[in-house]
């Protein structure tokens, strides 16, 4: 009987030690998961901000593309050619008079 009590107490102590180790392990895992979760949340927020910035930049670039296409069409017009000829080359139509201001 005494031997059984000793064996029973020993097993009870081993069970407590085992349960304590399992509890500590579970708590450690919980802490690690919580920390990683917080880090991932911060990364998620940073990525959301980056996506918003990139979408804004994309919108600006699309607007710029439209402007460039419009300018490309404008450069193919007669009006553009006349402006360049007058401004850069100083050319005029026959019979056209140019007045220059004195300095």
Instruction: List Cα–Cα distances, 54 to 31, 43, 49, 59, in angstroms.
Output: 35, 16, 9, 9
Q: What angle do CA 17, 19, 24 make, to 5 degrees?
A: 95
pTM of this prediction? 0.54
Give CA 4 to chain center in angstroms. 68
What is the C-alpha to C-alpha distance for residues 92 and 99, in angstroms, rounded to an integer?
12
pLDDT band (50, 70, 90) for residue 14 = confident
* Furthest-apart CA atoms within the chain: distance in Å: 133
Q: What's the mean per-residue pLDDT of the chain?
A: 88
Residue 99 has pLDDT above 60, yes or no: yes
pLDDT for the residue numbered 37: 97
């Amino acid at each position: 009987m005494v031997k059984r009590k000793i064996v029973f107490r020993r097993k009870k102590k081993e069970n407590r030690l085992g349960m304590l180790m399992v509890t500590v392990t579970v708590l450690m895992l919980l802490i690690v998961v919580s920390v990683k979760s917080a880090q991932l949340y911060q990364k998620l927020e940073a990525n959301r901000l980056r996506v918003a910035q990139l979408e804004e930049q994309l919108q600006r670039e699309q607007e710029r593309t439209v402007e460039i296409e419009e300018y490309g069409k404008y450069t193919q017009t007669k009006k553009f050619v006349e402006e360049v000829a007058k401004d850069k080359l100083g050319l005029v139509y026959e019979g056209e008079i140019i007045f220059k201001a004195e300095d």
